[in-house]
Amino acid sequence: MEQSAIAPIGRIVSGIQPSGRLHLGNYMGALKNWIDLQDRHECFFFIADWHALSTNYEKTGALRDNVRELLLDFLSAGLDPEKCVLFQQSHVVAHAELYLLLGMMTPVAWLLRNPTYKDQMAQIENRDLAQYGFLGYPVLQTADIVLYRPTHVPVGQDQIPHLELAREIVRRFHSLYGEVFPEPLPLLTESPKLPGLDGRKMSKSYDNAVFLSDSKETVAEKFKTMKTDTQRMRRSDPGRPEECPVFSLHQIFTPRETVGSIDRDCRVAAIGCIDCKKILAEEVERILSPSRERRREIEGQGTGRLREILDLGAEKAKREASLTMERVREAMKI
Ligand code: TRP
Ligand code: SF4
């Protein structure tokens, strides 16, 4: 993979599947990065609702709520529809047209060897994923990306194979019909590994997450139950920060000097876990409390406001998408 740092960043495109509320791990990974990027670059960010069907086509009952939740999380965390183009994938039908055209030239063998596909097929037992759409997921993702002709795509490590595939599809398109798209480069998002309340990786499915939309009280309650160094039974026992998930969160959310003093104090039992967790809750609140404030503001603007934001985003996205599709149809003689 080429080094993305070398090429100057032009336009950025990225998406997230709507699958429920975002937690602190999601925030520290993708979302915080998007919020930084929107100030410096031309960004297209979208809710990948069609992608959510690739694994959840049987149960779509929660889809609309999930889209709404995700949009609210986006806006309350600080994504600003005035700074970036914020939209919902299914509102821009050109994603589907380009998906179809790219699907015509994508060898099935490329999709079968996609590591995400192989992993999920091996891991997921309770759902039938032998669907055409699940195999074709990276083709849809390629369409999502190149439709806006971006230079860079901010993604986590897990999406790198999809990006590589997108680049291969683009190269194949170019060799068949001529140059239309820049080859999109990944902009690798460094996402710190956040432990959840039970010490395992923070994940919605483990029921161990702190959500962006949790109330202050809920956050404090959750931290109270969080696992610490299991060998520190009594307040008078010295602790081992390196064995403590609370400490791992401090390293992410708490200023370095404070982390240093917690480290020292824990080892000699000069600080207790209850106080240590209170400090953590306060630090996390420095992110969550402005976010809650913005959420209240947006919710106060009434139900039509979210629709308005998505409509505006769709309009801008469609304009750019239709320019691309004209070039694509021209190149393919359609
Ligand atoms: N596949 C991505 C994920 O699961 C979501 C996604 C869909 C995406 N289309 C995209 C990300 C286009 C970047 C660009 O996280
Ligand atoms: Fe963990 Fe803090 Fe307790 Fe030490 S004092 S064990 S770092 S929670």
- Considering the domain architecture, whether residues 246 and 130 belong to the same structural domain is answered as no
- Considering the domain architecture, whether residues 233 and 261 belong to the same structural domain is answered as yes
- Considering the domain architecture, whether residues 130 and 223 belong to the same structural domain is answered as no
Residue with tokens 């919605």: 204
The pLDDT score that the predictor gives to residue 4 is 47
- Considering the domain architecture, whether residues 67 and 30 belong to the same structural domain is answered as yes
- Return the best residue to mutate from 4, 17, 56 for the ligand 1 pocket (most ligand atoms within 8 A of CB): 17
Query: Which stretch of 48-52, 77-81, 184-188, 300-304 has the lowest confidence by average pLDDT?
Result: 300-304
Distance between CA atoms of residues 6 and 69, nearest Å: 36
User: Per-residue pLDDT tens for 167-221?
Assistant: 999 999 999 999 999 999 999 988 888 999 999 999 999 999 999 999 999 999 9
- Considering the domain architecture, whether residues 309 and 290 belong to the same structural domain is answered as no
The pLDDT score that the predictor gives to residue 1 is 46
- Considering the domain architecture, whether residues 251 and 324 belong to the same structural domain is answered as no
The pLDDT score that the predictor gives to residue 120 is 81
DSSP-based three-state secondary structure for 276: helix
Say yes or no to pLDDT of 306 above 70: yes
Q: Please check whether residue 200 lies inside any domain of the structure.
A: no
Say yes or no to pLDDT of 122 above 90: no
Q: Please check whether residue 199 lies inside any domain of the structure.
A: no
Does the beta carbon of 280 sit less than 6 angstroms from any atom of ligand 2?
no
Does the beta carbon of 73 sit less than 6 angstroms from any atom of ligand 2?
no
The pLDDT score that the predictor gives to residue 124 is 74
- Considering the domain architecture, whether residues 218 and 177 belong to the same structural domain is answered as no
Say yes or no to pLDDT of 2 above 80: no
What's 184's DSSP letter?
P
Q: Please check whether residue 204 lies inside any domain of the structure.
A: no
Residue with tokens 């969550």: 288
Residue nearest to atom 5 of ligand 2 (CA): 273
Does the beta carbon of 145 sit less than 6 angstroms from any atom of ligand 1?
yes
Buried/exposed code over 218-235 (b: 16+ C-beta within 10 A; e: otherwise): ebbebbeebbbbeebeee
Do the strands 11-16 and 42-47 form a parallel or antiparallel pair, or are they unpaired?
A: parallel
Residue nearest to atom 6 of ligand 1 (CA): 15
Per-residue pLDDT, averaged over 249-268, amounts to 97
Could you please report the per-residue DSSP string of 23-46?
Answer: BHHHIIIIIHHHHHHHHHSEEEEE
CB distance 45 to 84 below 8 Å: yes
Bridge partner list, 43: 12
User: Per-residue pLDDT tens for 85-106?
Assistant: 999 999 999 999 999 999 999 9
The pLDDT score that the predictor gives to residue 121 is 81
What is the 250 CA–ligand 2 centroid distance (Å)? 10
Does the beta carbon of 189 sit less than 6 angstroms from any atom of ligand 1?
no
- Considering the domain architecture, whether residues 139 and 228 belong to the same structural domain is answered as no
Domains: count for the chain: 2
Say yes or no to pLDDT of 257 above 90: yes
Does the beta carbon of 69 sit less than 6 angstroms from any atom of ligand 2?
no
The pLDDT score that the predictor gives to residue 119 is 84
Query: What atom of ligand 2 comes closest to residue 241's alpha carbon?
Result: 7
What is the 28 CA–ligand 2 centroid distance (Å)? 22
- Considering the domain architecture, whether residues 39 and 110 belong to the same structural domain is answered as yes
- Considering the domain architecture, whether residues 188 and 150 belong to the same structural domain is answered as yes
User: Where residue 5 falls among pLDDT bands split at 50, 70, 90?
Assistant: low
Q: Please check whether residue 205 lies inside any domain of the structure.
A: no
Distance between CA atoms of residues 187 and 155, nearest Å: 6
The pLDDT score that the predictor gives to residue 302 is 85
User: Per-residue pLDDT tens for 132-161?
Assistant: 999 999 999 999 999 999 999 999 998 999
Per-residue pLDDT, averaged over 247-263, amounts to 97
For the chain, how many residues are written? 334
CB distance 83 to 44 below 8 Å: no
The pLDDT score that the predictor gives to residue 234 is 94
Q: Where are the alpha helices (DSSP H) in the chain?
A: 24-26, 32-40, 49-56, 63-77, 94-105, 108-112, 115-123, 132-135, 137-146, 160-177, 216-224, 245-253, 256-267, 273-300, 304-332
Q: Please check whether residue 24 lies inside any domain of the structure.
A: yes
Q: Please check whether residue 113 lies inside any domain of the structure.
A: yes
Per-residue pLDDT, averaged over 266-292, amounts to 97
Ligand having the closest approach to the CA of 241: 2
Phi, psi values for residue 124, rounded to 5°:
-80, 115
CB distance 48 to 179 below 8 Å: no
CATH of the domain at 98: 3.40.50.620
CATH of the domain at 248: 1.10.240.10
Strand order in the sheet with 85-88: 85-88, 42-47, 11-16, 152-155, 185-188
Per-residue pLDDT, averaged over 237-248, amounts to 97
What is the 284 CA–ligand 2 centroid distance (Å)? 16
CB atoms within 10 A of CB 259: 18
Say yes or no to pLDDT of 57 above 50: yes
% of the chain exceeding 90 in pLDDT = 86
Mean pLDDT value across the chain: 94
Does the beta carbon of 141 sit less than 6 angstroms from any atom of ligand 1?
yes
- Considering the domain architecture, whether residues 276 and 178 belong to the same structural domain is answered as no
- Considering the domain architecture, whether residues 232 and 306 belong to the same structural domain is answered as no
Does the beta carbon of 17 sit less than 6 angstroms from any atom of ligand 1?
yes
Range of the domain at 283: 214-295
Per-residue pLDDT, averaged over 285-296, amounts to 96
Does the beta carbon of 279 sit less than 6 angstroms from any atom of ligand 2?
no
Q: Please check whether residue 84 lies inside any domain of the structure.
A: yes
% of the chain exceeding 70 in pLDDT = 98
Q: Please check whether residue 208 lies inside any domain of the structure.
A: no
